[in-house]
Chains A and B, each alone.
Chain A
Amino acid sequence: MNYAIDTFWGLISLLVKMFCIVVPLMVLLEIFREFDLIDKITRPLKVPARIMGFYEESIYPLLAGIIFGLSYGGGVLIGESDSGRIKGNQKFLVALYLGLCHAVFEDTLIFASLGANGTIVLTARLIVANVVVGAVSLFLRRDKNNRKEIRA
Chain B
Amino acid sequence: MEPVLRRRFIDSSGLGFKRGVNVFLQLSAIMIPVYIATAILKLTPVLDYVSGLFEPLMKYAGLPGSSAIALVTGTFVNLYAAAAIVAGLDMTARQLTILALILGFSHSQIMETAIVGKMKARPYIVMPLRVLFGLFSGFALHLILP
Residues of chain A with a CB closer than 8 A to B26's CB: 75, 78
Q: Which residues of B contact A124 (CB under 8 A)?
A: 101, 137, 141
**CA of A81 to CA of B121 in the docked complex: distance in angstroms?**
11
CA A81 to CA B39, docked complex, whole Å: 30
Contacts of A138 in B (CB 8 A): none
Which bracket fits the contact residues of B?
Answer: 35 or more
| Minimum C-beta distance from A39 to chain B (A) | 15
Q: Is the beta-carbon distance between A30 and B100 smaller than 8 angstroms?
A: no
| Interface contact B22-A79, CB-CB below 8 Å | yes
> Secondary structure at chain B's binding surface: helix, strand, loop or mixed?
helix
Chain A interface residue count, CB cutoff 8 Å, equals: 55
Q: Is the CB of B16 within 8 A of A75?
A: no
**Does A75 lie within 8 Å of B24, measured CB to CB?**
yes
Q: When A3-B43, A15-B28, A124-B141 are in contact, do A76 and B104 touch as well, CB less than 8 Å?
A: no
Q: Which of B11, B79, B125, B126 has the most CB of A within 10 A?
A: B126
Q: Is the CB–CB distance between A132 and B19 below 8 Å? A: no
Complex partner residue of A117 from B17, B31, B93, CB under 8 angstroms: B93
Q: Which of B8-30 contact A (CB under 8 A)?
A: 8-9, 11-13, 15-17, 19-24, 26-28
Q: Is the CB of A99 within 8 A of B19?
A: no
Q: Which of B74-114 contact A (CB under 8 A)?
A: 79-80, 83, 86-87, 91, 93, 96-97, 99-101, 103-105, 107, 111-112
Which residue of the partner chain, among B13, B27, B93, B107, contacts A22 with CB atoms under 8 Å? B27
Which of B24, B36, B79, B129 interacts with A19 by CB under 8 Å?
B24
Most chain B CB inside 10 Å of its own CB: which residue of A28, A116, A121: A116
Decide if A67 is an interface residue (CB 8 Å cutoff). Answer: no
Contact flags A103-129 to B (C-beta < 8 A → 1, else 0): 000011011111111101100110010
Taking CB atoms, residues of chain B closer than 8 Å to A33 are 12
Chain B residues, Cβ within 8 Å of A15: 28, 31-32
Given contacts A26-B19, A31-B12, contact A91 B105 (CB under 8 A): no
Supply 23 A–B pairs (Cβ within 8 Å), ascending by A: A14-B35, A18-B28, A26-B20, A27-B17, A30-B19, A34-B12, A35-B8, A71-B27, A71-B31, A74-B116, A75-B27, A81-B119, A91-B119, A95-B116, A96-B121, A96-B129, A100-B130, A107-B107, A111-B99, A111-B103, A111-B104, A114-B87, A125-B104
A residues contacting B by CB (< 8 A) are 3, 7, 10-11, 14-15, 18-19, 22-31, 33-35, 70-71, 74-79, 81-82, 91-92, 94-96, 99-100, 107-108, 110-118, 120-121, 124-125, 128, 132
